[in-house]
């Protein structure tokens, strides 16, 4: 058995049997997980018409008119809605397009 005083986990074979070996994740795996968790949140304002918002959501996300209409209603009634989820690069692109007409967005992850 290992001495209790000053023994490190890795210096004590009896203790090592109780823990699985640590295998670091690949950096690309971690970055991919973070990238997939990004979301674009669109906030309500009183400056734009429904048609303007619907048109800009379609331009930004490529979704259907029905989806854009539903998202616009959600923004109007709830004050905000998630309009896009995907890699951070995609979120930055979508957010930039929405902000072309001064819509208010936020990227979360």
Range of the domain at 43: 34-108
Residue in the block written with tokens 């979508």: 94
Residue 27 is assigned to a structural domain of this protein: no
Range in 6-10, 27-31, 79-83, 96-100 the model is least confident about: 6-10
Residue 96 is assigned to a structural domain of this protein: yes
Residue in the block written with tokens 């996300």: 61
Instruction: Report which of residues 19 and 55 the model is more confident about.
Output: 55
CATH (domain of 103)? 3.30.1390.10
Residue 68 is assigned to a structural domain of this protein: yes
Structural domain count, the chain: 1
pTM of the model: 0.69
Residue 103 is assigned to a structural domain of this protein: yes
Question: Residues 10-40: pLDDT tens digits?
Answer: 444 443 444 444 445 566 666 665 556 899 9
């Amino acid at each position: 058995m290992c001495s209790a005083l000053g023994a490190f986990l890795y210096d004590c074979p009896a203790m090592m049997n109780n823990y699985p070996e640590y295998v670091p994740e690949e950096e690309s795996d971690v970055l991919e997980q973070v990238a997939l968790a990004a979301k674009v949140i669109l906030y309500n304002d009183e400056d734009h018409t429904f048609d303007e918002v619907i048109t800009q959501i379609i331009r930004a996300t490529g979704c259907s008119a029905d989806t854009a209409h539903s998202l616009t209603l959600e923004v109007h009634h709830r004050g905000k809605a998630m309009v896009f989820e995907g890699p951070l690069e995609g979120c930055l692109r979508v957010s930039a397009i929405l902000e072309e007409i001064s819509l208010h967005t936020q990227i979360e992850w």
